[in-house]
Structures are given as C-alpha cells and as structure tokens.
Amino acid sequence: VALKRMLNFNVPPVKNSTGEPVWKVLIYDRFGQDIISPLLSVKELRDMGITLHLLLHSDRDTIPDVPAVYFVMPTEENIDRMCQDLRNQLYESYYLNFISAISRSKLEDIANAAIGANAVTQVAKVFDQYLNFITLEDDMFVLCNQNKELVSYRAINRPDITDTEMETIMDTIVDSLFCFFVTLGAIPIIRCSRGTAAEMVAVKLDKKLRENLRDARNSLFTGDTLGAGQFSFQRPLLVLVDRNIDLATPLHHTWTYQALVHDVLDFHLNRVNLEESTGMESSPAGARPKKKSKKSYDLTASDKFWQKHKGSPFPEVAESVQQELESYRAQEDEVKRLKSIMGIEGEDEGAISMLSDNTAKLTSAVSSLPELLEKKRLIDLHTNVATAVLEHIKSRKLDVYFEYEEKIMSKSTLDKSLLDMISDPDAGTPEDKMRLFLIYYISSAQAPSEIDLEQYKKALMDAGCNLSPLSYIKQWKAFTKMASAPTSYGNTTPKPLGLFSRVMNTGSQFVMEGVKNLVLKQQNLPVTRILDNLMEMKSNPETDDYRYFDPKMLRGSDSSVPRNKNPFQEAIVFVVGGGNYIEYQNLIDYVK
C-alpha cells in the first residue's frame, strides 16, 4: 500500500478513476529494487503509470517531459548522482523518496545542487518513506538483501568485533525495524532476552520510538499513517529473539516445500533460479556438450499452489503436483477445442489477448482459456521446481538426514550410529555431514568425550569437511552452558508412512523410489515456545526474565513500568542473527 501511494506521487490512489494514470519513470537503487520486486510485478507498475524503471547508477537518457519518481537510500553516492541528474535536467519534475530518513546535511546538498542547476521548482516533493525492509509474504519480512552479511549472525557474533562495529550493526537493524513499525502505524510493546544482541536492539529501538513520539510536531505515529486504524485498540507485541538461543534449527535439514526450496535451491526474494540440463539425448560424437540453461521462476502470493503447499511435507507436494497435472490433462482437450474455436494454432498466446469477443462462443473461450493456460504454467513451474528439489533429496539422502536429526533433537533412540552416517560416502555433501554433526553436538547434554570427538573429527575430515564450524560451536557451547539447560524440542519424531512407491501411481512424474514418506508431527520450536509464553502471559523460566519495554510510557525501566496484563492478539517475532523458513512455518502452524 505504501509503495503504491509513493508511486502515485504520495497521494493514496483513487479506486474508481477512469482516466489514464500519469505516465512517469521510476528510478531506484539496488535497495529500492529489492523492496519493490517481491511486491509489484512489471505489469502492476505499468498499471500505475510506470513506463520505465531504471537503476539510478545506469546510463539514463534525458526524458524532458516526464515526471520521475526516485526511490533510493540516502547514501553519499546516490545523492551525488541525483544532484548530477538535476544539473543535467534529465526529467520534467523530481519526486525524491528516500527509503530511510535522510539527514539534514544531505538534504542541504540536494538543495544547493537544485539552486545551482536552477531546478528548484522542478523538485516537486521530498519524502522519507521509512520503507527500509523487504516484505516477502503477507506475514514475513527481512531487513535487507544487498548487504545482508553486514547484519548476519556471523557479523554480530565475530569474536574480534569492535564496539563501534557493533553499534553500526545495531543501528542498521533498528533502522529497519523502526521503518517497519512506522509503516504498520503501531507502537509495539517490546520483549527481549537479557544479555544478548537482541537486548541491544530492544534498547535502541525503544529509545528511537520514544524520541519520535516525544517530538509532537514530527511524530510519525499520529494521524493519517497508513495502518492507523489497524491496531489502534490493541498494540502488537514485538518479541526480539537472539539466534543463539537455538542454533540447531537453522542447521536442521528440512522437509516442507518452501524451506526445502530455500535450503537446496538458489532462492532469493521469492525467486528461484534453476539450472536445467537440456535433455539427455546423445549428441553426435565430437559435438560440444549442451550448455545448461538457467531459468528463474517467481513463487508469489498469487500462485495458489504455492500458497497452499509451501508448508506441506515434500511427499504431499509431489502428489499434489501430480494430481493437478492429471486434472489439467483432463482439460487439455478443452484447451485444444477452445483454441480451434478461436482459430489459433499452436502456442501463440499473444493472439489470444488480441481477439475481440464478437460471439458468445468466443467470449466463453476468451474467459476460460487464459485461466487454463495459467493453470498449466503453474503446474509446469512446480513440476520443475519440485523435480529439482527431489534430485537433491535423492542424491544427498536428505530424507534420511531430516529423520535422523529429528531423532537427535527429540532425544529418541537412533537406529544407526552417527559415525556410520558421517562415513557413508553416498549420503550427503560434506556440508550436510557437518550440519548433522553440529546438531548432534549442540543437542547433546554431555559433550562427547575427547576420544570420541577425535574419531568424529577424523571421519568428518575424511568426508572432506571443513572443521572450523565445529571449533566455533565448541566455544559457543562452553560459553552458553553458564545459565541454560539444553533446549528441548519436544519428543516427537516424524512417522514414516512406508516408502513412496506405493503411494504414488506408476505414471507419476516423480520417481520417488527409496525416498521416505515422512509425515510431520506438530511441535513448537524454541522461538515459537517463547512467543507463546509471552503472548499468552504464561509464566515460564525460559521467558520470565525477558525485559519489557513500552515506548509510550514516559520513563521507567522494566520493574516500574505498568505492564499489559491481557494476552496479545498480534505479535511480530524478529530473530537477531537471522530467522529461517523452518521457524516461519512453525509459527504459522502455531497460529493455526
């Protein structure tokens, strides 16, 4: 909503206006691009009058009679380039939108450039948008994509980090979270664990929200913010969790569709990139081997199959793709019939949209054909994506890893020794083995004896593993021992439903032989448990000493603040050091 408002020159778009939109160009930097691309397709941009969208630092031609909407971070180089645009008189008028708030001095730089270029009247509006976060789902956001290593787990937990570096990282995180709440139009109540990076974030965010509320003239939380009506009667809870409370889950192999896609494929900002081998047919001797073609697919909110199955166990997904395919095949004759009515041969879809509906027959064909073709597109997409995932599962035995790790994490009896798993040359990549061993190491109440550890290390090295993660986890475990007992993950293991071959009919696209058909049992992960305690006001040693911040209260730290006693209706969970799709899915299941 905020983006559409910005693209409409910062006035809310009118629903029923029949006129053409105002044509304009959109200039963004990589940060702006990352924020817009998961939310608005090129077609939606065009519907809003955006004819061209260009990167700020690319060579752009003068387009003298069009307004330009800029959406960029207020960095030195961006500002320099904008000043250059003003001097070169590239566009008719300039609507400058900053992703994060611009400082007074940089604003003056732009003003000076505008005066120098005699372009003051052309700078129509300058806005701080407070949109410095990336929304990937209706209920999920990440801070950034371009420089994510700056706020990663590693950046925060490096042993040699300086105080100033830490400050910078915390400020970056807080800036994004602040933007998030401005956009939401709500002031949260903040809870966090003590003595962690999450606490540093909480203190800074509380201070920033507080300062903004005190500044009555410029407060971002009064009056007509976008979300003002949404939460007005009840404030959301913000739970800041530190990644260190649970390092096993992010290392854990997974079994649900979205989490698998993210784990084994190249999946960023809702787009998955696949390398497709172009067929196995033998090329004539001496011919060069065929190049792998790269394909990318967007997995979006409008993709009904994805929305329905992204949280399903993989076997179910494979089965559903198969069912969709069969139901489509039943309709394929219908597609052929419709195409022949419309006089279209072959695959020329462009022609379909060009036809005018002159007969009733055509009208029905025109309306049902695009729907069927869209269905076909989604089936092909998920067939390709699921096949790519399946190749990884089979070649790396990910089903075995997933099941074995679940047993470790739930302290069940193991059916084969860990050493055998690590030494099996056919199971998994060195990284898979390392992940398995780290989960074992993190989850075990007693660390393995030195003799055992040496054996494991030798096996890991023979398997080609890099041992540096282990030395980090060793130190980490010694360090976190002080206060906390090992995290419990509930005592449930996935139940195998026999092998797939029985479930899947023989004509299936997916050759699932040998892959275990595992079903998940619902259990709450540590992050979800913490949220549950804090939302429902349950007393629990895990969360009783979490700090409590209320930025709306004048002053007073934890003990003196009058606390909200009622359970919360809305909550935002943010993991400092990075959440993951397993936890996201677990929270969604918890909400259900």
The predicted structure's pLDDT at residue 483: 41
Average pLDDT of the segment spanning 176-190 = 93
Mean pLDDT of the chain: 85
Question: Tokens 């060579």 sit at which residue?
Answer: 59
Main-chain dihedrals φ then ψ at residue 243, nearest 5 degrees: -55, -30
Cα–Cα dist 214/211, whole Å = 5
Confidence of residue 233 (pLDDT cuts 50, 70, 90): low
398-483: in CATH 3.40.1350: no
Q: How many CB atoms lie within 10 A of CB 119?
A: 20
The predicted structure's pLDDT at residue 249: 92
Q: How many CB atoms lie within 10 A of CB 332?
A: 11
Residues 36/3, Cβ–Cβ less than 8 Å: yes
Comparison of pLDDT for 411 and 251, the residue scoring more: 251
Comparison of pLDDT for 182 and 483, the residue scoring more: 182
**Burial of residue 231, with CB atoms counted within 10 A of its CB: 0-12 exposed, 13-18 middle, 19 or more buried:** middle
Task: Identify the CATH homologous superfamily for domain 1-131.
Answer: Sec1/Munc18 (SM) protein, domain 1 (3.40.50.2060)
Cα–Cα dist 4/2, whole Å = 6
DSSP label at residue 454: H
The predicted structure's pLDDT at residue 63: 94
Share of the chain above pLDDT 90, in %: 59
Cα–Cα dist 415/101, whole Å = 56
Token representation of residue 267: 């999946």
CA distances, 95 to each of 50, 88, 251, 264, 544 (Å): 13, 16, 45, 41, 49
Cα–Cα dist 488/491, whole Å = 8
**Which is nearest to 114 in space by CA: 150, 143, 142, 89?**
89
Coil, helix or strand for 188?
Answer: coil
The predicted structure's pLDDT at residue 312: 93
The count of residues in the chain is 592
Confidence of residue 505 (pLDDT cuts 50, 70, 90): very low
DSSP label at residue 497: E
Cα–Cα dist 133/113, whole Å = 29
| Beta-ladder partners of 519 | 495
Coil, helix or strand for 405?
Answer: helix
Q: Where in the chain is the domain with CATH 3.40.50.2060?
A: 1-131
Residues 580/247, Cβ–Cβ less than 8 Å: no
Q: Where in the chain is the domain with CATH 1.25.40?
A: 398-483
Q: Where in the chain is the domain with CATH 3.40.50.1910?
A: 135-246+525-591
Cα–Cα dist 195/547, whole Å = 10
Look at residue 287 and tell me whether its pLDDT is greater than 60. Answer: no
Residues 308/355, Cβ–Cβ less than 8 Å: no
298-349 pLDDT, tens digit each = 999 889 999 999 999 999 999 999 999 988 888 877 777 777 776 666 555 5
Residues 142/85, Cβ–Cβ less than 8 Å: no
Residues 185/226, Cβ–Cβ less than 8 Å: yes
| Beta-ladder partners of 97 | 71, 127
Which parts of 263-375 are beta strand (E)?
266-268, 271-276, 293-298
DSSP label at residue 243: G
| pTM of this structure | 0.86
Cα–Cα dist 493/411, whole Å = 9
Alpha-helical runs (H) found in 88-216: 104-116, 153-157, 163-184, 197-214
Cα–Cα dist 419/460, whole Å = 9
Average pLDDT of the segment spanning 353-361 = 52
441-457 pLDDT, tens digit each = 998 888 889 999 999 99
Half-sphere exposure of residue 577: CA atoms within 13 angstroms, side-chain side: 23
Whole-angstrom Cα Rg for the chain: 27
Residues 96/125, Cβ–Cβ less than 8 Å: yes
Cα–Cα dist 109/298, whole Å = 39
251-280 pLDDT, tens digit each = 999 999 999 999 999 999 999 999 876 544
Cα–Cα dist 53/33, whole Å = 9
Beta sheet of 50-55, edge-to-edge order: 50-55, 24-28, 63-72, 91-98, 123-128
Comparison of pLDDT for 219 and 54, the residue scoring more: 54
**Which is nearest to 572 in space by CA: 251, 187, 267?**
187
Look at residue 552 and tell me whether its pLDDT is greater than 80. Answer: yes
Look at residue 284 and tell me whether its pLDDT is greater than 60. Answer: no
CA distances, 427 to each of 431, 468, 496 (Å): 11, 21, 19
Comparison of pLDDT for 486 and 19, the residue scoring more: 19
Token representation of residue 239: 């739970």
Token representation of residue 72: 């960029």
Confidence of residue 562 (pLDDT cuts 50, 70, 90): confident
Look at residue 158 and tell me whether its pLDDT is greater than 60. Answer: yes
Coil, helix or strand for 172?
Answer: helix
Alpha-helical runs (H) found in 397-510: 398-409, 418-423, 430-443, 450-462, 468-480, 500-503
> Given 3-state DSSP classes, what are the helix, strand and coil percentages for the chain, each rounded to the nearest 5?
45, 15, 40
Token representation of residue 127: 């806005």
The angle at the Cα of 132, spanning 126 to 138, to the nearest 5 degrees, equals 120
User: What CATH architecture does domain 135-246+525-591 belong to?
Assistant: 3-Layer(aba) Sandwich (3.40)
